[in-house]
Copies of this chain bind each other. A is one copy, B any other.
Amino acid sequence: MKLTDLITPVALIDLPRMQHNIERMQAQVASLGATFRPHVKTSKCVQATEAQIQAGAQGITVSTIKEAEQFFAAGIRDILYAVGLAPSKLAAAAALIGKGCDLKVLTDSVQSAQAMAAFAKAQGLNFKVLIEIDTDDHRSGIKPESAALLAVAQALESPACEIVGVMTHAGSSYDLNTPEALIAMAEQERAGCVRAAERLRQAGFACPIVSIGSTPTALSAKNLEGVTEVRAGVYVFFDLVMHNIGVCTKNEIALSVLTSVIGHQEEKGWAIVDAGWMAMSRDRGTQKQTTDFGYGQVCELDGKVLEGYTISGANQEHGIVSRAGQPDLEIAKRFPIGTQFRILPNHACATGAQFPEYQALDAQGTVQTWSRFYGW
């Protein structure tokens, strides 16, 4: 199959770019002495994940139990479920462990630790648990110096629950856009998580794993002393938010939406395409950044960026392509009906999730279908 055979809209993976991104991250983390555990919530795709493992990744990170089930069924055993385990999911987690999955789960509260311990004891099983650490005051987790850290560790009650480590995610790195600030946040993430591990070890817990990461901090870190593994997700595709943060160029963005021109409003300088917000997702992550790309950056069919052209507005199945500044009153001649574009997305995790499958485009220009799945 060729690109021009596809019925648009289509989620397109540029395979050489994806492979470059995978190797870049793997080399960065390895050079600092840690292992790498990709967060596969971004692709939800077995083939993309296999490419990460082939490049040296050790284990994966997932954001839902369904992802764990799907990737375990595809042959991956070492899985970290990096969202606090709700009581209603204890049975599903236990079932995976019972089938031989080396599943690690997460908690950040005494309430949930007690629920895990009680369930594990009643079922006669063992949960491997990481304690979630809050290193940037952003979302979930326990502060490294908090008394709650040891209280949760005690509530986990060996041997029903084995404390295998600590984990943090400096999600506030998404709000930064200078190398200095990113390097500082990476160090804050590292230091806070290492400190929490030290406190647990001083209290007699082994805590072998120290797991940190986000795409911006992973690519900015200068030192990973005390860290055993790094996690990152969106780097596999990158996107315009990451471009604005400063950790990739537009030409490294591996995911795009292939779309076709279906109409024009010539006097407004608009081309209407069949990628609206259902295809691009409603993610407007670049809105509050230094460059707002609307619903995406328009590129030619071969991937060349059309500077200044974005999806400036979107309805469910309609996108409005226009030029920033002066309207392009020649747009109907320049891009007649049937013209195909690639649109780079604001947020690859959100855009990928709008599609049941990817079309993976290789360097020879042929495409193959890679399926992806829902997270629940």
Within 8 A of B (CB), among A58-109: 63-65, 83-89, 92, 108-109
User: Does A12 belong to the interface (CB within 8 Å)?
Assistant: no
Interface members, chain A 261-298 (any B CB < 8 Å): 261-265, 272, 274, 277-279, 281-284
Interface residues of A, dominant DSSP: loop
**For the complex, is A46 an interface residue (Cβ under 8 Å from B)?**
no
Q: At the interface, yes or no: A226 with Cβ under 8 Å from chain B? A: no
Asked whether A338 lies within 8 Å of B88 as measured between CB atoms, the reply is: yes
Q: Does A375 sit within 8 A of B, measured CB to CB? A: yes
Q: Does A41 contact B (CB under 8 A)?
A: yes
Q: Tell me which of B111, B277, B353 contacts A278 (CB under 8 A).
A: B353
A263 in contact with B140 (CB, 8 Å): yes
Copies of this chain, complex-wide, total: 2
Cα–Cα distance between A287 and B287 once the two chains are bound (Å): 13
Question: Are A63 and B316 in touch, CB under 8 angstroms?
Answer: yes
- Among B7, B87, B336, B350, the residue within 8 A (CB) of A338 is B87
Do B355 and A264 have beta carbons less than 8 Å apart? no
Establish whether residues A7 and B376, one from each chain, have CB atoms under 8 Å apart when the complex forms: yes
Asked if A317 lies at the interface with its beta carbon under 8 angstroms from chain B, I say: yes
Contact B115 A41 (CB under 8 A): no
Identify which of B10, B272, B347, B375 contacts A376 (C-beta below 8 A).
Answer: B10
CB within 8 Å for A315 and B115 given contacts A86-B274, A274-B83: no
B318:A112 contact, CB within 8 angstroms: no
**Is A55 in the interface zone, CB < 8 Å from B?**
no
> Is residue A165 within 8 Å, beta carbon to beta carbon, of the partner chain?
no
Query: Does A210 reach chain B (CB closer than 8 Å)?
Result: no
Q: Which residues of A contact B (CB under 8 A)?
A: 6-10, 41, 63-65, 83-89, 92, 108-109, 111-112, 115, 134, 139-140, 171, 260-265, 272, 274, 277-279, 281-284, 315-318, 320, 332, 336-338, 347, 349-350, 353-356, 374-376
